Amino acid sequence: MTRTRQAIQGLLLFLPAFIVIFGFIFFPVGYSFWLSLTNKHAVFPHYEYVGFQNYAWMASEQDYWLSLWRGVIFSVGSIFFQVLLGLLAALLLNEAFFGRGLVRGIALFPYMLPTIVVILLWKWLLSASYGPVNYVLQALGLIQAPVVWLGEELLMASTIFVAVWQFFPFVVISLLARLQTIDLQLYEAAAIDGANAWKRFRYITLPALRYVLFVVILLRTFFMFTKFDVPWLMATGGGLQVLVQNLPVYAFRRTFRFMQAGEGAAVSVSLFLLLIVLSVVYFRTYRREAGS
C-alpha cells in the first residue's frame, strides 16, 4: 500500500471523529462567537456585523454584573453544601447497617427525578399560602405566620436548598465508589496506633478522596455555573427572577425575551471564557498542591 493511500485511509478513519467534534463542539462555539459580533434578532434573519459592541454593552450593563454575582452565590453556595452533604451521606452509607441497600437507593432518588418535577414539588411544599412545610411548622407552634420561603429574602436560599437536594446524590455516588476501594487494613493499623475517628478520617479517608473530590468539584462547578432550569423554574420566569438570575438565565432572557440574539451570545461567550479561566486556575492550583 502506498503512503498516499495509507494517508487517505487514515484521514477517512479520522473523519467521523472530526465531524462529530467539529460539528458538535467547535461549530456551535464558533457560531456563538460570530453571533456575539452581530445585532441578530432572535427570530428574524436580518443582522449586521457590529464588532465588539455587544461586549461593550455587556460591560456597562448593571444587570450583567448582578447576574454574574448571583450566579457565583448560587454556584458556590450549592456546590459547598452538595459536597458537604454528599460527603457526610457517603461516609454514612459506607458503613454496614441493616437496610443499607435500600437507604442507598433512596439517597439517589432526588437525582433521578426530572428537574421540573423537583421544582414543582418544592414550590408546592414551600408555598406560603398552601404549602405543607409552613402548615406543619405552624401546627407545631414553631412559627406564628407562614415563612415566605419563596419571597424576596429567602428565594436564593430556597433555590440553593433545592439544588443541593437534587444534586447531592451525584457527590454521594462518586465518593462512595472511592470509599469502597480504600483498604480496610489502613484503618485497622491506624486504630492500633491509637488514631481516633477524626484522625482516621483526616489522614486516611480524606487523602484517598482528594482525586475524586477534585473531579467532583470541577464537574459540579461546570454544572452549577451553567445551570438554567433550577433558577429559571424557581422564579417561573417571573417577578422575582432577577433575584436568582445567573448568566445562563440572563443570556436566555436577552436572546428570547429581548430578542437580542447577539447580546445573548455575548453573555454566553463570556460565561464560556470565565469557565475556561476557572478551570485552568483550578487545574494549576491542584497540580501545585499535588506536587507539594
209 versus 261: smaller Cβ distance to other proteins: 261
> Does residue 221 bind other proteins (CB under 8 A)?
no
Binding part of the chain for other proteins, among 75-83, 162-170, 179-187, 229-237 by CB under 8 A, reads 229-237
Closer Cβ to other proteins, 236 or 279, answer by number: 236
The reply on whether position 12 binds other proteins by CB under 8 A is yes
Taking CA atoms, 4 is separated from 8, 10, 18, 145, in Å, by 6, 10, 20, 80
CA–CA gap between residue 244 and residue 160 (Å, rounded): 10
Considering only CA atoms, which of 179, 267, 224 is closest in space to residue 78? Answer: 224
The residue range among 100-108, 123-131, 164-172, 282-290 that interacts with other proteins, by the rule CB under 8 A, is 123-131
Q: Which residue among 67, 104, 122, 123 contacts other proteins (CB under 8 A)?
A: 123
Q: Shortest distance, CB of residue 152 to other proteins, whole angstroms?
A: 5
Residues 138-167 that bind other proteins (CB under 8 A): 144-146, 148-152, 155
**Minimum CB distance to other proteins smaller for 47 or for 80:** 47
125 binds other proteins (CB under 8 A): no
CB 106 within 8 A of CB 130: no
- Output phi, psi for 38, to 5 deg: -125, 170
215 φψ region: left (φ > 0), alpha (ψ -120 to 50), beta (else): alpha
Secondary structure letter of residue 150 according to DSSP: T
DSSP 95: S
86 interacts with other proteins by CB under 8 A: no
Smaller CB separation from other proteins, 236 or 285 = 236
- Residue 289 touching other proteins (CB under 8 A): no
Task: State whether residue 36 is helix, strand or coil.
Answer: coil
CA dist., res. 95 & res. 193, Å (int): 22
Nearer to other proteins, 8 or 21 (CB): 8
Which listed range, 20-28, 121-129, 197-205, 273-281, lies at the site for other proteins (CB under 8 A)? 121-129
Taking the chain, what is the end-to-end CA distance rounded to the nearest angstrom? 51
Query: In whole angstroms, what is the distance from residue 218 CA to residue 248 CA?
Result: 18
Q: Does 62 bind other proteins (CB under 8 A)?
A: no
| Listed residue (69, 125, 154, 120) closest to 229, CA to CA | 120
Owner of C-alpha cell 442507598:
104
CB 213 within 8 A of CB 83: yes
- 138 versus 226: smaller Cβ distance to other proteins: 138
**Residues written for the chain:** 292
Binder of other proteins out of 173, 259, 275, 278 (CB under 8 A): 259
Residue 9 vs 180, nearer CB to other proteins: 9
Using CB under 8 A as the criterion, which residues of the chain lie in contact with other proteins when the complex forms? 9, 12, 16, 39, 41-46, 123, 127-130, 144-146, 148-152, 155, 234-242, 253, 256-261
